[in-house]
A and B are shown apart, each in its own frame.
Chain A
Amino acid sequence: MVGQAEKIEAVAERLGARAGGGRSLWADARRRFLRNRAAMAGLAILVFVALFALCGGFFAQWSNEELDYMVMGQVAELGGPSLETGHYFGTDDLGRDLFARTVQGTQISLAVGVIGALIACVFGTVYGATAGYVGGRTDGIMMRLVDIFMAVPYMFVLILLLVMYGRSITILFIGVGMISWMEMARIVRGQTLSLKGREFIEAAQATGVPGPVIIARHVVPNLLGVIAVYATLLVPLMILTESFISFLGLGVQEPLTSLGALISEGAGTIAYGTMWQLGFPLLFFVLTLFGFFFVGDGLRDALDPKDR
């Protein structure tokens, strides 16, 4: 009997030890994400690209504005990638260091992508969750407005904006943010509608929790998974949009540059035997996109295991 009592106590202690903190759905998702090899590879790539963008400048021997008069005019012969000249990635057509330019271009592209996606997330989530939660006529008006905006060819509007207000990076941020929130709003609204029918929302309403608090406390936290997934998939789209605009020659202005602008320049000189001018920016561009897509896929699988 005594032995048994001890055993029971031991079991109780073990139960108590594990009872401290619960396993939240987030913790579960983290575990699934960490086990996903492709996603972890994507994350490693992203960390590498981010470190490159942040710290690459310390390793550059040339600034991005300096012209190397030694290679000017003979870029194809002398401007190739080399450790001796300090141009690790070679130089561009004007003799500027491509390594420094790629670092800067990656910074700008990442910034456009992340900030564009952030604007989309914040605005789109608030808009979509409000429309979905309030419902009825408000919902109808809000979503028809989105439909109307979506029907406008955004690339055309963006180009027009850049032409009218000058080619500045601020306008680019605003333009990209403006077009990206709508898809987000739609997705969030749809998810909110399905959440609204759940009993725990009804329970909160029955208790008398005010609407805005329900949205902030119950709706949005349950949507965060969807939002996170969509945001990671949105970043590369934003980068692509910016690159396309820059490729057209409308995006960021010299001396600033972005991966899209660099690729555009590199593609222009492809016939003169300076492949590195296209290759290095393209490599970082592709790495970034792959990284984000893999992480996005991994997040989706981790946060919504029922989906597969």
Chain B
Amino acid sequence: MSPLLSVRDLSVTFPIRRPGDMPWTRPRGLRAVNGVDFDLEPGRTLGVVGESGCGKSTLARALIRMVPATGRATWRGETDLMALTPSAMKRYRSEIQMVFQDPLASLDPRMTLGQIIAEPLRTHRPDLSGAERRTRVAEMMERVGLLPQMINRYPHEFSGGQCQRIGIARALVVEPKLLICDEPVSALDVSIQAQVVELLRELQRDLGLAMIFIAHDLSVVRHISDEVMVLYLGRVMEAAPKEDLYAAPRHPYTQALMSAVPIPDPAAERTKRIIPLKGDLPSPMDPPSGCVFRTRCVRAAADCSEKVPRPGDEAHRVACLHPGPVREEERAGAAPA
């Protein structure tokens, strides 16, 4: 079976004008996403993690053609989404829906809940009558756990968790095949996060959805994903099935991220060692030569600045010249938490 979505060499370059540039000077390019590959099977979930500014959200926006991108994204083995004209893309917009990060900001404050959830239906299913539309909206509301009498209320009357449920209902009402969740829970309280993640899992199971789940919280991603992809400065650092990645991370960046995850056991938490990341994220305007992570890597060697590591083709892909489990000296150099 061909994958639902097969992405090859996806890159996004933003033209950046410095203040004071003449109108005719060519803007410099900022590569927000650089040569990303992945396959997504129907009904599976791909988790995308990385620091702020690593291109996670840009990747999501590129897939729904909200930012211009190059490369290929083959949908159901037949259509290249990146090559479609905007009007041809419209057909596929009902099959790929998105849930946004800020639950309240993603809802129009002047519309009632019913109008908000009905909007994708009005766009993609103009053949439906008003009554049919209302039934579908009501079904969807029940599905995501919203009470039917809330239908005439406005977004500002709801809590963040409820707003995110509305966002999910709006995305799912047109029965998409793929749901892209751009940090759907990072703006919510921890207790609400669990509810929303559970809801997403449940809906995925019931509707056979594929999901791309973007987050910077490794434990949330671990909970919901089948496969996990780690991004750094727009490049894939490591991608593997969830069990592999969490049990045996091979890229020093992934290892550093994992070592920083809090352990819910005070004793273990006290003895835990965090592998430090040196310095700050380099400017994406001029990324380091060779391996982009080398400036902050504990394992950086001379060849790291020369050769660009490419992730391989196997199930567990690592873009590192010196991959491997955490070494003893790295652990020794790590600061106690």
**Residue ranges of A at the interface with B (Cβ–Cβ < 8 Å):** 16, 19-25, 198-200, 202-209, 213, 217-218, 221-222
Q: A204 touching B66 by the CB < 8 A rule?
A: no
CB distance from A222 to the nearest CB of B (A): 6
**Residue ranges of B at the interface with A (Cβ–Cβ < 8 Å):** 64, 66, 89-90, 93-94, 97-98, 100-102, 105-113, 119-120, 123-124, 147, 149-150, 152-154, 156-157, 167, 170, 174
Q: B119 touching A221 by the CB < 8 A rule?
A: no
- Compute how far the CA of A217 lies from the CA of B112 in the bound complex, rounded to whole angstroms: 12
For A208, what are the chain B residues with a Cβ–Cβ distance below 8 Å?
89-90, 93-94, 123-124
For A213, what are the chain B residues with a Cβ–Cβ distance below 8 Å?
123
For B98, what are the chain A residues with a Cβ–Cβ distance below 8 Å?
203, 206
Nearest B residue to A222 via CB reads B110
Q: A20 touching B152 by the CB < 8 A rule?
A: yes
Query: A209's contact among B109, B119, B153, by CB below 8 Å, is which?
Result: B119
Q: A204 touching B119 by the CB < 8 A rule?
A: yes
For B111, what are the chain A residues with a Cβ–Cβ distance below 8 Å?
221
Query: B119's contact among A21, A198, A207, by CB below 8 Å, is which?
Result: A207
For B147, what are the chain A residues with a Cβ–Cβ distance below 8 Å?
19
- Compute how far the CA of A218 lies from the CA of B174 in the bound complex, rounded to whole angstroms: 20
Decide: A205 near B66, CB < 8 A? Known: A20-B149, A200-B107.
yes
Interface of A is mostly: helix
Nearest B residue to A197 via CB reads B105
Decide: A22 near B108, CB < 8 A? Known: A206-B64, A208-B94, A208-B123.
no
- Compute how far the CA of A206 lies from the CA of B101 in the bound complex, rounded to whole angstroms: 14
For B89, what are the chain A residues with a Cβ–Cβ distance below 8 Å?
208
For B66, what are the chain A residues with a Cβ–Cβ distance below 8 Å?
202, 205-206
- Leading 10 A-B pairs by shortest Cβ distance: A22-B153, A208-B93, A19-B149, A199-B106, A199-B105, A221-B110, A200-B108, A208-B90, A207-B120, A22-B154
Nearest B residue to A21 via CB reads B152
Q: B97 touching A206 by the CB < 8 A rule?
A: yes
For B97, what are the chain A residues with a Cβ–Cβ distance below 8 Å?
206-207
Q: B93 touching A207 by the CB < 8 A rule?
A: yes
Q: B106 touching A200 by the CB < 8 A rule?
A: yes
- Compute how far the CA of A259 lies from the CA of B142 in the bound complex, rounded to whole angstroms: 61
CB distance from B145 to the nearest CB of A (A): 15
- Compute how far the CA of A20 lies from the CA of B119 in the bound complex, rounded to whole angstroms: 21
CB distance from A61 to the nearest CB of B (A): 50
Query: B156's contact among A21, A25, A200, A206, by CB below 8 Å, is which?
Result: A25
CB distance from B88 to the nearest CB of A (A): 11
- Compute how far the CA of A24 lies from the CA of B97 in the bound complex, rounded to whole angstroms: 27
Sample (8) of A-B pairs whose CB atoms are under 8 Å apart? A22-B113, A22-B150, A24-B112, A199-B100, A200-B105, A200-B107, A207-B119, A221-B111
Nearest A residue to B108 via CB reads A200
Nearest B residue to A17 via CB reads B149
CB distance from A303 to the nearest CB of B (A): 12
- Compute how far the CA of A51 lies from the CA of B105 in the bound complex, rounded to whole angstroms: 43
Given contacts A23-B154, A199-B106, A222-B109, list 11 more A-B pairs with CB under 8 A: A19-B153, A20-B152, A21-B152, A24-B154, A25-B154, A202-B100, A202-B106, A203-B167, A206-B64, A208-B89, A221-B108
Decide: A25 near B153, CB < 8 A? Known: A203-B98, A208-B93.
no
Nearest A residue to B100 via CB reads A199
Query: B110's contact among A24, A207, A209, by CB below 8 Å, is which?
Result: A24
Q: A218 touching B108 by the CB < 8 A rule?
A: yes
Nearest B residue to A213 via CB reads B123
- Compute how far the CA of A20 lies from the CA of B112 in the bound complex, rounded to whole angstroms: 12
For A221, what are the chain B residues with a Cβ–Cβ distance below 8 Å?
108, 110-111
CB distance from A219 to the nearest CB of B (A): 10
For B105, what are the chain A residues with a Cβ–Cβ distance below 8 Å?
198-200
- Compute how far the CA of A213 lies from the CA of B90 in the bound complex, rounded to whole angstroms: 14
Nearest B residue to A198 via CB reads B105
- Compute how far the CA of A222 lies from the CA of B110 in the bound complex, rounded to whole angstroms: 7
Q: B123 touching A207 by the CB < 8 A rule?
A: yes
- Compute how far the CA of A218 lies from the CA of B115 in the bound complex, rounded to whole angstroms: 11
Nearest B residue to A24 via CB reads B154
- Compute how far the CA of A198 lies from the CA of B120 in the bound complex, rounded to whole angstroms: 18
